Structure 1
């Protein structure tokens, strides 16, 4: 039995881009760091919260690239000249990606108590009914 992909399903036309986005998201190195929550705050809104203790607003960047929300963190090394007896707090960089459905808009990004909150809203598309005329072919 062969596995049918989303883009190859006979009733799902034009979804190849979605399939590529999902594949790309799976390959972006989401290794569990930093930990995050996704909560539904209303029928049409969501909030992603990342635990980014030790990062400042300047250390973080949030971009939207081809329906993919990408959060990157890179800390500047301030430990030069310091001698650590134990270093358990890693200053490592990260990239965390989320694929957004069509119509999901990114709202505010708020930093609070070591947590980065990103608000998302799903905009309801207008319902459009279109009548397609049938032309007579050449006989």
Structure 2
């Protein structure tokens, strides 16, 4: 897991605490890890590793040429003390730029992997003769 250590900057700057806090809590673009596959001539699949997220904690939204996958964890109801945190547990938002006429065909969450099937459907009037 990649993260930046801003500790040395705290020693040489004054008044930037809020900026460093924002940087530390910013959304990571490399998490969750994902694959993009070409399944067929007009079929694609995005597979994301989102172990620990329930189906009702993940939202897919397509707005024009953008597909947003948003994961928002529900608050942990258990009072437990974590001695080492090695598993990523934060919320995420991943945005994918889609080509023209590509839309979500199906989505499935199984064994911690979210699979989003995409299809490109070019209207007949726009296809070359």
Deviations 1:71-92 (A, max 9, x none): 0001123164212222222320
TM-score relative to the length of structure 1: 0.66
Question: Residue 33 of structure 1 aligns to a residue in which SS?
Answer: coil
Question: Unaligned 5+ residue runs, structure 2?
Answer: 1-26
Q: Which ranges of 4 or more aligned residues in structure 1 deviate by more than 3 Å?
A: none
Contact 1:30 1:97 in 2 (8 A): no
Question: Residue 39 of structure 2 aligns to a residue in which SS?
Answer: strand
RMSD of equivalent CA atoms: 1.9
Q: What residue is the counterpart of 1:83 in the other structure?
A: 81
TM-score relative to the length of structure 2: 0.71
Contact 1:44 1:122 in 2 (8 A): yes
Whole-angstrom distance in 2 between the partners of 1:32 and 1:87: 18
Question: Residue 58 of structure 1 aligns to a residue in which SS?
Answer: helix
Q: What residue is the counterpart of 2:39 in the other structure?
A: 41
State the number of aligned residues: 101
Q: CA deviation at 1:125?
A: 3.0
Q: What residue is the counterpart of 2:60 in the other structure?
A: 62
Contact 1:69 1:99 in 2 (8 A): yes
**The structure with more radius of gyration:** 1
Note if 1:118 corresponds to 2:124: no
Question: Residue 124 of structure 2 aligns to a residue in which SS?
Answer: coil
